[in-house]
Chains A and B, each alone.
Chain A
């Protein structure tokens, strides 16, 4: 299980939860797990950056990046607000 931080722009799709626990061995598995439970995330997630332990997974192995139990993942969509 991996803790995934949900940013404010995605909380309406997750019933207001700020953090979720997801199952999976890779980033892709985690996101699939989340989308299966919160289908409304499907439109949003492709626009969100994913950080594993503070590193952008695009600089690792992308969606195939392996996650360890106990890792922390942050989802981060762009926010324009000022």
Chain B
């Protein structure tokens, strides 16, 4: 029966090894994908800058994401060069053509005084709290750190804002601002405050047009949600990329033709559905993943349990985001929505 020593010796004879000096030359040249195969606690105490962390137990399942091109050089390291030797053998078996293990491992790397990155990363309680996110390759530790640094402003703390804020807070969004209708007068100041994403769940047209205009001027994407009785609408207005709210609805309907939920009612669960969809879009925007609902309006009908989608396009003549804007500062939004105008 082969002993550990014998097996290690055998594997080391079959793979290629580099010393720390040569490894550093390659890394400085930006050539290899560097993979740290140690455990989480070892990684947390410092690692080679630019390395990807894949504990050896997950190597086979996760390597393709880190190194999709099997012809590109992969440099593996662990603490002393033994685990990475076995890892190198595995990658060769998987078809990687140019794999090397760092002889002497991270220990030798540090002994040479080479650069070490100490992750500002997640501490143990956060790692436990966000463990489900960390397991998703599209989020992972980097994504979770992004969320923890992100700032999301919720307009409206009612039906839509409540479920949206629940899930955004639980996802670890670092700063959540909530503006309710009563403080709309202060919105102009608040909106200028460097938000990454705005979630619009307002219950009135003046606020929605105000939020739209501010988002264009401050270049902040808006996740729009609205509800009435059994139906909801969700979309993302991203300045410069897709249409804005005014491209979609240039003129607000007169108040008597557009009852609010307070006047016309809403099925209690509907804001839960639409507010959660808004949180989903906000998280995608904060993470920079997936295909946000830019230029697409998602319609949900709770009675038929159906989703529909229509396309939204930028209006080159839009008074705020068009080619020749005519509205460039805040207007009197209450008056604008008072219904004295003709439809466009």
Contacts and interface: CB of A to CB of B under 8 A. Distances in A.
Interface of A: 5, 7-9, 18, 43-44, 46-47, 49, 51, 54-56, 58-59, 74, 76-82
Interface residues of B, number: 46
A81 B260 contact: yes
Contacts, number: 93
9 smallest CB-CB distances across A and B, nearest first, come from: A81-B261, A47-B253, A82-B201, A46-B343, A78-B249, A82-B203, A51-B310, A8-B229, A79-B226
Contacts of B261: 81-82
Contact of A80 (B161, B226, B297, B343): B226
Instruction: Among A56, A74, A80, find the residue whose CB has the most chain B CB atoms closer than 10 A.
Output: A80
B130 interface: no
Contacts of B313: 56, 59
Contacts of A7: 231
B266 A80 contact: no
Instruction: Among A5, A58, A78, find the residue whose CB has the most chain B CB atoms closer than 10 A.
Output: A78
Contacts of B231: 7-8, 79
B156 A55 contact: no
A80 to B, nearest CB: 5
B5 interface: no
Contacts of B264: 9, 81
B271 interface: yes
Given A54-B309, A80-B258, A47 B226 contact: no
Contacts of B309: 54
Given A44-B253, A47-B251, A59-B313, A82 B303 contact: no
A51 B312 CA distance: 10
Contacts of B304: 18
B208 interface: yes
Contacts of A58: 315
B233 interface: yes
Main DSSP-derived SS at the A contact region: mixed
Given A58-B315, A81-B266, 5 more contacts: A76-B297, A76-B299, A78-B205, A78-B252, A82-B159
Interface in B231-278: 231, 233, 248-249, 251-254, 257-261, 264, 266, 271
A78 B253 contact: yes
Contact of B156 (A59, A74, A82): A82
Interface in B306-333: 308-313, 315
A71 B141 CA distance: 47
A43 to B, nearest CB: 6
B150 interface: no
Contacts of A54: 308-311
